[in-house]
Structure 1
Amino acid sequence: MLALAPAYADQDTPLQTLPPIVVTAPMQEKPLTVITDPKAPRQPVPASDGADFLKTIPGFSTIRKGGSNGDPVLRGMAGSRLNILVDGGQVGGGCPSRMDPPTAYVSPQLYDRVTVIKGPQTVLYGPGNSAGTVLFERDFKRYASPGISVDGSLLGGSAGRNDQTIDLRAGTPDVYMAVDANHTHAQDYKDGDGNHVHSSWDRWNANAALGWTPDDDTRIELSAGKGNGQAAYAFSGMDGAQFLHDSAGLKLEHERPGAIFSRIEAQLYYNYIDHVMDNYTLRHPSPSSMMPMAMASDVDRRTVGGRVAATFAWTEALSLVTGMDGSTSINRSRMGGPAGGRLPDYRDQPWQRDARMGSLGLFGELSWNMAERDRLISGARMDRAQVRGYDLALPANAIMGGMSMGNVAAGVDASRSSTLPAGFVRYEHDLAAQPVTFYAGIGYVQRFPDYWELFGRHADKSLPSFLRLQPEQTTQLDVGLQYNDTRLKAWVSGYLGVVHDFIVMDYGTGMTASQASNVNARIAGGEAGLVYSLGARWKADATLAWAWGQNQSEHRPLPQMPPLETRLGLTYDTGAWSVGGLWRIAAAQHRVAVGQGNIVGQDLGPSGGFGVFSLNGGYRVSRALTLSAGIDNLFDKTYAEHVNAASVGLVGYVNTVRVNEPGRTLWMKLDIKY
């Protein structure tokens, strides 16, 4: 039942057992793994999408394009180097300009857990995870008796920000159902100088699941979801006028306690996105721009995939997870304008297929407790990746069928495929009589060029380029320490890698066309963090993240590398209420490769450092109600992240080199849990 008394801690309950009211520093829970609760309030202002959420985790940054739908970057690596799975399935954006990364379709508060695995240190979740793997997951357990639960929140803040979230679950020992939905909205925000940034958004999502649990060890679930929205962009000549998303899934999980063949899990999923970009829904076409008339581009992507995995536990010390996974996706596009405009209505135009991409992989991951304090985790996988491009451009004077095409424009369809091995081995050791774990692991992964590197806006969509671009080959060493006792939790991790055929995007200048090319590279960096209880009610936390990259082939830095960053936090928590501060400091970044970048953005030149101070507070009204609030960027500083997209000259807006971050932002959130 609903408890109305504040959740004060008594003398017999240590205050540190209560979770923080406002999260400012998600910590690495075990070697290379961060597990965090996306429903908990956090500072900066609670996230509007998946990338917004991930940027609060040390090692992540976000390429800002507007107010929402930024692109996540882990250790300086973006795009398909970061493998993102939502409820176990892949969600691929369709925009050639990367307006809709996978995280644009994720509402974090609708999930129970977000897990980040850094580096190529797992093989269980698909190919190409050279930077890491992110899992947005929901948890369902069998009901012991009929029951119902409600988890919801209301958020209000500066720039008209307002969010509503509801997660309703009910069930019996035999069946359960879940329905969740959210809506998020904001107007254009202002930077520290008071200038409006073209950044408004409005988005909604809804999901439903029906499950059958005939016994404690079996679960079968059918799920479906839908969403849509709009987003204004300061980095582009167009805005996102539609983010339509449909999904469906079927899961089976069965445990066999005590048996060698101890678990089987299987999944099928379907994801479809229909994304519309235009220059007239959220802005007025500028006669002096490159698109003076009302124009629209409609792209869609249909992804179908599945996974089956079995767990074998030969002893308590030795277990193996093995199986196979795969997916295929088709991208299409059409162009035009609004109904009654100078261009034909884009909705009446035929779809043109751009690409078909797919992969099929086999994997196995072995865990071996060699001794009381020694563990060895290793894995291997093999993927077969295939892609077919449509209407690829031919170079001048190309020869087809023994006849020269001269300078006649023509397009051809072509296919290519690659076999991609991957594997890792990691040793973990708990030091005797100390709460310290040391680990060291080496991983190898090959990543096939993704849709944006082969067919995106900044790719050379020609047949020679399509056939020439090679898969990346990353070999990386990860080492670190974990410390965990009642007063101090601390960790440090470092990595050193060699990347053959690293894919760099050259954005081109003047008459030089943009294109993707392969280079050899070196990467290095690390993260560290600690949480220390200064007393019964005071807690301090600190995190540090650094990433470095060098283009060995061209003797210049790798582009889009975030600068050294630290976050310092101090919290006073009585158990019923808390108040805290967060000071985020980023160093200047002078190691740049102007004109080069990734599939999202390019280096725009050196950037200066900055420091931003924020305050937060919270009150546990009861077991069911928690009120939290914050002031981000308390001193209204004007700044922009180094890893960023270039802003474009929009009528009525101040043009800056990079898209500036929000100025002073106030927010308040009410969480309801029953």
Structure 2
Amino acid sequence: MTISRNPVIRLSSLSTALLLALATPLALAAPADDADVASDPFDLQSIVVTATAPVSALTFDTSPKLPRQPVPASDGADYLKTIPGFSAVRNGGTNGDPVLRGMFGSRLNLLTNDGAMPGACPSRMDNAMSYIAPENYDRLVVTKGPQTVLWGPGASAGTVRFERDREVYEAPTVKASGSLLAGSFGRNDQVVDATYGDRLGYARVSANRSESDDYRDGNGDTVGSAWKKWNADVALGWTPDPDTLLELGIGVGDGESRYATRGMDGSQFKRDNTSLRFEKTNIGEHLQEFEASIYHNVADHVMDNYSLRDPNPAGPMPMPMASNVERATDGGRLAATWRGSAYELVAGVDGQDSRHRRRGGMGRDAYRAQPWAVDARFANLGAFAEGTWFQGERNRWVAGTRIDRAEATDERATISGGHGGAAVPNPTAGQTREDTLAAGFVRFERDAARQPVTWYAGVGHTERMPDYWELFSARSFGGAMGTGMGGTNAFAGLDTEKTTQLDIGLHYRGRKVDAWVSTYAGRIDDFIQFHYPSEGMMAGTSVVSNIDADIRGAELGVEVRPADHWKLGATLAYARGEARDSGRPLPQMTPLESRLTASWDNGSWSAGALVRVVDGQDRVAPGYGNVVGQDLGPSAGFATLALNAGYRVNAMVQVTAGVDNVFDRAYSEHLNLAGNADFGYPADPVRINEPGRNAWLKVNVSY
């Protein structure tokens, strides 16, 4: 099987043009009294989302219910890619692993309804976003960088929250919405969201089903990528008065997915969620709000090589085999909000306890008869406070601090001997490591006096406990520079990761032009990296180690409304990182990427276009990466065109349609896993290609 590569596309001229486009409206802006933001009744982004702009400093807030292009997302990672700076490590059709500014894994705090649900697979086949059906949520809120302390420890790259709204009803009310999607490669989705509420409470049901066959790339070759998923959630709320809420949430789901990049497929993505939440508002003159929540989340994942493919007799897994992993996470949060004439303060505590266990077997479904074995336990308890001080009408100071006590326990009796050898006794069996993690930030924000401009500058620091994948998935620990054995294993040898980062940005909101830029520069002490040696004594193993690193980058965007009903926009995202001592590039860094958009909307009809341009990436570190993948070498750039159109039938019904990859280009993303031999890929690492031309039609209904 051969996969063509497009010529490398260089973006130097494009980035210069975008910077000029951003600078020009700021230089030529009219006085503030002429540049007030005008309400625009014809907002195409309310029909089809192609890119998202920040709503405040480093914060993005959007509705995942809105149709998006490319083809509406099947998981959380896919939807995040509409926010500049996000990308994903690709598996194929679904369940990509999100990456923000080149940072991956638990450097991103991923939450649903304020609860954590980390996946269970040692290779992150079922990362947290795999269990997310975006349309089942009302809001997606992203905070970039270590610029909040409200939602848990770590989160050096950012915090991602999928949230559902909670309402108080004065009279009996029925609300319902739903959508149907049909597309190329057998794609079909169904979503329903219905609520009944009255003065004493409400009941809400959200459910979805999503399915797709294997897709074909621009060469016409089939890529193993089919999936089926379903989710159902119920929320029962009691509202004895307008200021009090008690809500019980119950959720279940399951699915399966073929992976052209893996030796196994995901034949089960079962989830069970239970939560209880209490909210009280308008308490007193200064104490305004109090909230308390607890949750119990379970991810039960099965991977095998026989349910969705036939075992390859010539491959490394010639016989049917399966692995069943489960992670149960319990947690809770208490927070109170105080407000005064010149301040707002949120303070509280949160905690989390997580248990990981596994079983497996040779033969079809033989794992079901095997006992579970717990291999890891995690716990965390933290206290936080974050406040805003309003210094006059135009200046704000935002600051926060938190401290956490984190621990991990190694329950493995044996560990892999490496090189296919027998398991050996685990020298850290039964041991618990404990760490105290400190985090904090301070940010200054200022609104200009005579222009609709806000600028900010902030510095943040956070310390991150190595996660399950870093402590338990690596075969060996490689010391300070990743060479040789620096400790008994990763559990005993890895240090906590410390990030200190400066964020500076500016946002202009005018009558005809919106423009924003966000830049950052950070130093990471004891950055956790993976190394996959191809020769020598360590060949075929994964070696994890700590190094010191520097990172920097920027995202910017501009939107111009040249005439009624028209919008033109552009975004640019750039990330770079290198090891501080050697200067070697950090692996798995996202290439320079731009999105150019044009849209027209007359209130009933709409049309839009999206051009996505990605630069070739030659700053790579072959053999280095993360627990999911590694740099496969330089990648070629590419450009794709997507078109969409929409029609508002009435206030209740809207129809949207689109074509992605209009010219049927054969291309692959830089962040990618090598195609597996079971799907016809060669032994040498080859990136899988993205879908070819892909058409879709979606109907949204709301009542």
2:6 maps to what in 1? Answer: none
2:694 maps to what in 1? Answer: 665
- Aligned letter for 1:671? N
Deviation at 1:486, TM superposition (A): 2.5
1:276 maps to what in 2? Answer: 302
Do structure 1's residue 104 and structure 2's residue 121 form an aligned pair? no
Do structure 1's residue 519 and structure 2's residue 547 form an aligned pair? yes
Cα separation, 2, equivalents of 1:100 and 1:266: 29
Do structure 1's residue 409 and structure 2's residue 435 form an aligned pair? no
Q: Against the structure 1 CA distance between its residues 126 and 559, is the aligned structure 2 distance closer, same or farther, given a 3 Å change threshold?
A: same
Q: Against the structure 1 CA distance between its residues 651 and 372, is the aligned structure 2 distance closer, same or farther, given a 3 Å change threshold?
A: closer
Find 2:471's aligned residue among 446, 454, 460: 454
Cα separation, 2, equivalents of 1:507 and 1:81: 21
Find 1:553's aligned residue among 553, 576, 581: 581
Output aligned runs, 1:387-536, within 5 Å: 387-391=408-412, 409-411=424-426, 412-456=429-473, 463-510=488-535, 511-512=537-538, 513-536=541-564
Deviation at 1:373, TM superposition (A): 0.1
1:143 maps to what in 2? Answer: 169
- Given that 1:452 and 1:459 are in contact with CA atoms closer than 8 Å, whether structure 2 keeps it comes out as no
Deviation at 1:256, TM superposition (A): 2.1
Once the two structures are overlaid, the 10-residue window that deviates more, 134-143 or 251-260, is: 251-260
Where 2:333 maps in the other structure, the secondary structure is strand
Deviation at 1:537, TM superposition (A): 1.3
Deviation at 1:464, TM superposition (A): 3.6
Deviation at 1:205, TM superposition (A): 0.2
Q: Against the structure 1 CA distance between its residues 446 and 530, is the aligned structure 2 distance closer, same or farther, given a 3 Å change threshold?
A: same
2:627 maps to what in 1? Answer: 599
Find 2:568's aligned residue among 540, 562, 565: 540
Output aligned runs, 1:568-587, within 5 Å: 568-587=596-615
Q: Against the structure 1 CA distance between its residues 299 and 32, is the aligned structure 2 distance closer, same or farther, given a 3 Å change threshold?
A: same
- Given that 2:647 and 2:655 are in contact with CA atoms closer than 8 Å, whether structure 1 keeps it comes out as yes
Deviation at 1:638, TM superposition (A): 0.6
* TM-score (norm. length: structure 2): 0.90
Where 1:584 maps in the other structure, the secondary structure is strand
Deviation at 1:555, TM superposition (A): 2.5
Query: CA-to-partner distance for each residue in 1:476-532, whole Å, 9 max, x for gaps?
Result: 000000111232221100000000000001123244121210000000001001221
- C-alpha root-mean-square deviation of aligned residues, in Å? 1.8
Q: Against the structure 1 CA distance between its residues 607 and 14, is the aligned structure 2 distance closer, same or farther, given a 3 Å change threshold?
A: closer
Query: CA-to-partner distance for each residue in 1:631-654, whole Å, 9 max, x for gaps?
Result: 000000111111111211124568
Q: Against the structure 1 CA distance between its residues 308 and 211, is the aligned structure 2 distance closer, same or farther, given a 3 Å change threshold?
A: same
Find 1:374's aligned residue among 395, 398, 404: 395
- Aligned letter for 1:178? R
- Aligned letter for 1:595? G
Query: CA-to-partner distance for each residue in 1:458-487, whole Å, 9 max, x for gaps?
Result: 665984421110011000000000111232
- Aligned letter for 1:208? V
Deviation at 1:408, TM superposition (A): 9.4
Deviation at 1:553, TM superposition (A): 3.1
- Given that 1:83 and 1:128 are in contact with CA atoms closer than 8 Å, whether structure 2 keeps it comes out as yes
Deviation at 1:457, TM superposition (A): 5.6
Cα separation, 1, equivalents of 2:551 and 2:343: 34
Q: Against the structure 1 CA distance between its residues 18 and 49, is the aligned structure 2 distance closer, same or farther, given a 3 Å change threshold?
A: closer
Cα separation, 2, equivalents of 1:654 and 1:106: 33
Cα separation, 2, equivalents of 1:465 and 1:142: 50
- Given that 2:282 and 2:288 are in contact with CA atoms closer than 8 Å, whether structure 1 keeps it comes out as yes
Cα separation, 2, equivalents of 1:29 and 1:554: 39
Find 1:194's aligned residue among 220, 239, 244: 220
Q: Against the structure 1 CA distance between its residues 566 and 477, is the aligned structure 2 distance closer, same or farther, given a 3 Å change threshold?
A: same
Cα separation, 2, equivalents of 1:162 and 1:246: 24
2:14 maps to what in 1? Answer: none
1:243 maps to what in 2? Answer: 269
What is the count of residue pairs matched by the alignment? 648
- Aligned letter for 2:341? E
Query: CA-to-partner distance for each residue in 1:108-140, whole Å, 9 max, x for gaps?
Result: 000000000000000000000100000100001
1:301 maps to what in 2? Answer: 327
- Given that 2:615 and 2:637 are in contact with CA atoms closer than 8 Å, whether structure 1 keeps it comes out as yes
Where 1:28 maps in the other structure, the secondary structure is coil
Cα separation, 1, equivalents of 2:309 and 2:247: 43
Cα separation, 1, equivalents of 2:129 and 2:613: 25
Cα separation, 1, equivalents of 2:186 and 2:55: 36
Deviation at 1:16, TM superposition (A): 3.8
* TM-score (norm. length: structure 1): 0.94
Query: CA-to-partner distance for each residue in 1:218-244, whole Å, 9 max, x for gaps?
Result: 111001000000000011100000001
Among the aligned pairs, what percent are the same residue? 51
Where 1:391 maps in the other structure, the secondary structure is coil
2:184 maps to what in 1? Answer: 158
- Aligned letter for 2:452? P
Cα separation, 1, equivalents of 2:355 and 2:323: 17
Cα separation, 2, equivalents of 1:151 and 1:459: 51
Cα separation, 1, equivalents of 2:119 and 2:39: 47
2:406 maps to what in 1? Answer: 385
2:668 maps to what in 1? Answer: 640
Do structure 1's residue 65 and structure 2's residue 86 form an aligned pair? no
Cα separation, 2, equivalents of 1:459 and 1:138: 42
Query: CA-to-partner distance for each residue in 1:302-324, whole Å, 9 max, x for gaps?
Result: 000000001122x2211210000
Where 2:574 maps in the other structure, the secondary structure is strand
Query: CA-to-partner distance for each residue in 1:44-97, whole Å, 9 max, x for gaps?
Result: 000000011111111000111121000000000010000011011001100001
- Aligned letter for 1:374? N
- Given that 1:196 and 1:654 are in contact with CA atoms closer than 8 Å, whether structure 2 keeps it comes out as no
Q: Against the structure 1 CA distance between its residues 455 and 570, is the aligned structure 2 distance closer, same or farther, given a 3 Å change threshold?
A: same
Cα separation, 2, equivalents of 1:641 and 1:408: 37
- Aligned letter for 1:410? P
- Aligned letter for 2:336? A
Where 1:221 maps in the other structure, the secondary structure is strand
